[in-house]
Amino acid sequence: MAGHAAASTHRPADTIAGLLRQAAQRLAVALVLDRAGARIEARALCAHALGVEAGWLLAHDLEPLTAAQAAAIEALIARRERGEPVAYLTGTREFHGREFAVTPDVLIPRPETELLVGLALQMGPADRPIRVLDIGTGSGIIAITLALERPRWQVSALDVCPRALSQARANAARLGAPVRFLLSDLFSHVGDTTFDLIVSNPPYIAQDDPHLGRGDLRFEPVLALASGNNGLALIEHLIQTAPSYLDRGGALLLEHGWQQGEQVRAWMHAAGYHDIASHRDLAGWSRVTAGRTLS
Ligand code: GLN
């Protein structure tokens, strides 16, 4: 059979398995990844270049690749070697069991935000149409997940960046989430609507934090990552302004930096919030803080 004969004359690197092995080695060296991590990335990029699921690669690992396919894979591996995040190269990232489209206009979804979403899901009654607002929605992961997990909730989401907002809208449309989107610089265009729950994963990294110059963060929108006053400027502002937009007994739930919990609780206390509590992420850091206004 012609196909078979062709396959047997290919050098190992021309098969899927060979190419994956080479790619994983290159990524391990360039990005200082362990073998398992490098293999996962190589597989994700290879699958994306070929337009298949990662699982498909395992079942077809001895198949030869065309020159065009090999070139498409090479282009992605080379970009990853230079540091571009996998999520931007493949254009997707999973969050809470769903695939979200992501571009360099929005932050890449992170596991710590699962904590915020998990707490938000517990904070309001599932069977009542409470009003929820997500501030700085980015790709929309928080608002969309809440809307899909709590169909009775009325979820709104805002962002100051029009390109981020269109990304969030597209994700909501594709996933069928009935979220109301608003172009707004914090509360500037919220009007006199009030909410039972306000959630946010705001920028909270200090502007001079060296982490901004490393890894994935170099490619992410700095607007979504960094804030003044050691990363706390926007958080302080949210704590101070949110009560005007919360119903009596409404809650504010904020993601913040691993060393910011104490300051966040102190500001909430000074602003008159009650039931203030910080929660730890999977890595054990105090990462999300909640407070309620008086009922
Ligand atoms: N959790 C992110 C990080 O530390 C930052 C996200 C944010 O600023 N909201 O990389």
What atom in ligand 1 is closest to the CA of residue 202?
9
DSSP reduced 3-state for 276 = strand
- Cβ–Cβ under 8 Å, residues 136 and 160: yes
Distance 29 CA to ligand 1 centre (A): 26
Distance 225 CA to ligand 1 centre (A): 6
Tell whether 211 is covered by a domain: yes
Please identify, among 82, 111, 136, the residue that sits at the C-terminal boundary of a domain.
82
Tell whether 88 is covered by a domain: no
What atom in ligand 1 is closest to the CA of residue 225?
8
Tell me how far the alpha carbon of residue 159 is from its chain's centroid: 15
| φ, ψ (nearest 5 deg) of residue 9 | -90, -5
pLDDT tier at 207, thresholds 50, 70, 90: very high
Q: Per-residue pLDDT for 5 more than 60?
A: no
What atom in ligand 1 is closest to the CA of residue 205?
8
Q: What is the pLDDT of residues 172-192, one digit of tens each?
A: 999 999 999 999 999 999 999
Distance 97 CA to ligand 1 centre (A): 20
Q: Per-residue pLDDT for 6 more than 70?
A: no
The boundaries of the domain holding residue 240 are 96-292
Distance 257 CA to ligand 1 centre (A): 7
Tell whether 106 is covered by a domain: yes
Tell whether 152 is covered by a domain: yes
What atom in ligand 1 is closest to the CA of residue 216?
10
Average pLDDT of span 130-152: 98
Could you tell me if 55 and 194 lie in one domain? no
Q: Per-residue pLDDT for 203 more than 80?
A: yes
Q: What is the pLDDT of residues 257-278, one digit of tens each?
A: 999 999 999 999 999 999 999 9
Tell whether 21 is covered by a domain: yes
DSSP string computed for 132-156: EEEES-TT-HHHHHHHHH-TTSEEE
Given the structure tokens 């690197």, which residue do they identify? Answer: 13
Percent of the chain with pLDDT over 90: 91
Distance 148 CA to ligand 1 centre (A): 24
Whole-structure pTM value: 0.93
Please identify, among 51, 82, 113, the residue that sits at the C-terminal boundary of a domain.
82
Task: Return the residue whose CA atom lies nearest to atom 5 of ligand 1.
Answer: 225
Could you tell me if 33 and 140 lie in one domain? no
Tell whether 7 is covered by a domain: no
Could you tell me if 212 and 174 lie in one domain? yes
Please give the mean pLDDT across all residues of the chain.
94
pLDDT at 282: 84
Residue 107 token pair:
């932050």
Could you tell me if 137 and 102 lie in one domain? yes
Q: What is the pLDDT of residues 77-98, one digit of tens each?
A: 999 999 999 999 999 999 999 9
Average pLDDT of span 245-250: 97
Which residues, 6 or more positions from 121, have their beta carbon under 8 angstroms from its beta carbon?
Answer: 146, 149, 150
74-90 as b/e: b if 16+ CB within 10 A: eebbeebeeebbbbbbb
Q: What residues line ligand 1, using a CB cutoff of 6 Å?
A: 110, 112, 201-205, 217, 225
Task: Label residue 24 exposed, middle or buried (CB < 10 Å: 0-12, 13-18, 19+).
Answer: buried
Q: Per-residue pLDDT for 11 more than 80?
A: no
Could you tell me if 177 and 39 lie in one domain? no
Q: What is the pLDDT of residues 105-131, one digit of tens each?
A: 999 999 999 999 999 999 999 999 999
What atom in ligand 1 is closest to the CA of residue 203?
8
Residue 132, beta-bridge partner list? 155, 197
Structural domains of the chain, count: 2
Which residues, 6 or more positions from 207, have their beta carbon under 8 angstroms from its beta carbon?
Answer: 226, 227, 228, 231
Could you tell me if 52 and 161 lie in one domain? no
Distance 53 CA to ligand 1 centre (A): 29
Q: What is the pLDDT of residues 19-61, one digit of tens each?
A: 999 999 999 999 999 999 999 999 999 999 999 998 899 899 8
pLDDT at 29: 97
Could you tell me if 56 and 145 lie in one domain? no
